[in-house]
Chain A
């Protein structure tokens, strides 16, 4: 009996040591996450982008302009098509307001409504709200490396450290050189795959690499996903406080 216990402990110790050696080959996941945040996040951003929803009944293109400051404040205005033009969204901390010109109403979106699709896309309001730096929400472990779309990538497993994160776990493929998450698999609390994102094109703006074209796919929805193309982006610009007010929604 004693021999059996000794052998079991020995085997477990060997497995643990070999695992440690295995992961020791990879860099620290949290360190990679920190570098991603440094590359992607700026004090403020002003961008113009296109969102193309590839639905079952064809594709629909929307154009929008967005102002973002830090993690907590953002404002978007839809410019096209005419049916959506004038729709505005304001995010302040964990609150989201939407203005629709046809009803001339400002509506606060809360609770599980945040999980609904935004403008019929594969992106939910909750996805849009998740502007925080990755290190604020997740802790990461590097679990492997792989070539993805001809780019050498680290594979990171992210575990949420806060209970109200939109996704409890994520598996992310990080470009080793550009420090951009080229592919993401987002999982719910049950471990079910909910969404995937892929960055199809990146551009260098100043010192940072930034995604130019990406595709979001809600795996629970039929369709070809939602393409997001950044047409122009400016970093660290001064944005007046009035931009992030409810009054700005009706202007």
Chain B
């Protein structure tokens, strides 16, 4: 019977072409919309985790109060002992010390007099001992000119700053700032590369240098602004972070410099953003899938009604109502499945394209200081392969089921009357 029905569908183009095109289009749009929304949300969380928040972070209580200002002078002291402790207590997490600080970048002329000057945001990470930090900050891919620092007293600067200050590769520059204890601090560096992170807030004035150089500049030996934690499997686990916080934090301490652990969701309003995204994403997808379902259900319904005459003849020549109904459902299952498979393939293919190529929205983000990537990308997940089947397969089959109910309402006398006309 299946083969018979399949041949019927394939041989009658009007029975499969239009419904399959509609279902495939609807499924493609559903898959693409899902991957796009997931991609934007996940990228934002990943960028924030890699550049700023980690999956979790350890700072002092005083630092936490002013965390948006990155007050490195209120940072952690005695980090060697602390690193040893957290590495033992939480072996599933990779811990990295970082220092973020503001300063002045000064380019001298031949006589050592200031030629140009600009305010910069310095990010000190472990550039030499742990290549994972270079990977997390995406420095290799972000390089516009030159190379990544490979020895002390070298740094890379934002390409935008380099152009503005007319800094060339191998130019000597001076960073002027104050130490952890407030003294004036100056250190000379060689610019070995320029970068564009694609994050507006950083591209306006970022400088990346090795943490050991920053520790010596800022009088912060055995100290750091923050210690960031990243799960070794690379996946953020909210429940595990909650457990770790309970184990690590001492709510009774009154020491304002006591270390305290923060969840990714405690920072940069990410908790609110994630909750909102989950809620909004669910709502958007629900509405979208609901509308697509109505369209495809309607298409199934029309498909059934269009064959009113044919069904009448089949009933008139003695085919049972149940047999006609079942054959219609099986046909719609075949068409719904085929349309959903085609739609999913096309939707996933387009999503993969957008995952790797993305869409550049930098022109829209010139004045935005949020840590947000200027290239929006889709993300293909396991769900992407099944999400389209809800409107594509289920809705069209349900549409046919409803259309078929009419079969049971038709009686033999009425049938012959219809056939006469």
**A and B: interacting chains:** yes
Q: How many A-B residue pairs have CB under 8 A?
A: 72
Residues of B within 8 A of A103 (CB): 174, 186-188
Closest residue of chain B to A62, judged by CB?
Answer: B183
Q: Given the known A-B contacts A103-B187, A105-B106, A107-B176, are A56 and B181 also in contact in the complex, defined by CB atoms under 8 Å?
A: no
Residues of A within 8 A of B112 (CB): 105-106
Q: Which of B154-193 contact A (CB under 8 A)?
A: 174, 176, 178-188
Residues of A within 8 A of B198 (CB): none
Contact call B181/A87, Cβ cutoff below 8 A: no
Q: Is A57 an interface residue (CB 8 A)?
A: yes
Residues of B within 8 A of A105 (CB): 106, 108, 112, 174, 186, 188
Interface-located stretch among A113-121, A188-196, A227-235: A113-121
Q: Is B62 an interface residue (CB 8 A)?
A: yes
Residues of B within 8 A of A50 (CB): none
Q: Is B113 an interface residue (CB 8 A)?
A: yes
Q: Given the known A-B contacts A106-B112, A117-B178, are A84 and B184 also in contact in the complex, defined by CB atoms under 8 Å?
A: yes
Residues of B within 8 A of A53 (CB): 182
B interface residues, how many (CB within 8 angstroms): 27
A100 to chain B, nearest CB (A): 4
Q: Is A108 an interface residue (CB 8 A)?
A: yes
Q: Is B374 an interface residue (CB 8 A)?
A: no
Residues of B within 8 A of A102 (CB): 186-187
Q: Is A60 an interface residue (CB 8 A)?
A: yes
Contact call B119/A56, Cβ cutoff below 8 A: no
Q: In the complex, A162 Cα to B80 Cα: how many Å? A: 52
Q: Is B117 an interface residue (CB 8 A)?
A: yes
Mask: chain B, 202-231; 1 = CB below 8 Å from A; 0 = not: 000000000000000001000000000000
Contact call A120/B183, Cβ cutoff below 8 A: yes
For the complex of A and B, the 3 pairs showing the least CB-CB separation, nearest first, are A120-B182, A103-B186, A100-B186
Q: Given A107-B176, A107-B186, A113-B119, 18 other A-B contacts at CB below 8 A?
A: A53-B182, A55-B182, A56-B74, A57-B257, A81-B183, A83-B179, A83-B183, A84-B183, A103-B187, A105-B106, A105-B108, A105-B186, A107-B117, A110-B117, A117-B178, A119-B184, A120-B73, A120-B178
18 contacts between A and B (CB under 8 A): A53-B182, A55-B182, A56-B74, A57-B257, A60-B181, A81-B183, A83-B219, A98-B184, A100-B176, A105-B108, A105-B188, A106-B112, A107-B104, A107-B106, A108-B117, A113-B104, A113-B119, A117-B182
